[in-house]
Amino acid sequence: AHVFQSHEEDDRKVRRREKNRVAAQRSRKKQTQKADKLHEEYESLEQENTSLKREIGKLTDEMKHLSEVLKNHEKICPLLHCTMNFVTVPRPDALASCLPR
């Protein structure tokens, strides 16, 4: 009977070891998948960041250009030089002369 019990215990140990091995394998696979997912997310955010930086550059250039255009326009704008401008509403034809065609 003693030999039989020992064989049964060995069987249980082998099964437990196998179960443990499978669980460890599953855990490692899960960690790898998590790391892969994080890496993909990182890559995606890096691309988005680069794209947004490029857009900021374009918008900054556009803002500089428009500020320059406005500054040049203010020098010659009849509406800004008219002293009555602050009292009366500008006439539509005066306004039209300021707007780009």
HEC secondary structure over 71-94: HHHHHHCHHHHCHHHHCCCCCHHH
Structure confidence at residue 78 (pLDDT):
82
How many distinct structural domains can be found in the chain?
1
Residue 59 placed within a domain: yes
Residue 99 DSSP one-character state = S
**32-42 residues labelled b (16+ CB within 10 A) or e (exposed):** eeeeeeeeeee
Kindly state whether residue 19 falls inside one of the protein's structural domains: yes
Band of pLDDT at residue 50, cut at 50, 70 and 90: very high
Q: Is residue 88 pLDDT above 90, yes or no?
A: no
> What's the confidence (pLDDT) of residue 41?
98
pTM of the model: 0.54
Residues in CB range of 85: below 8 A, 6 or more apart: 79
Tell me if 23 is assigned to some domain.
Answer: yes
What is the residue range of 19's domain?
7-81
Within-domain flag for 13? yes
Alpha carbon 19 to its chain centroid, in Å, reads: 43
Residue 1 lies in a domain: no
Q: Who's near 79: CB < 8 A, 6+ residues apart?
A: 85, 90, 94, 95, 98
Burial of 85 (0-12, 13-18, 19+ CB in 10 A): middle
Specify if 90 maps to a domain.
Answer: no
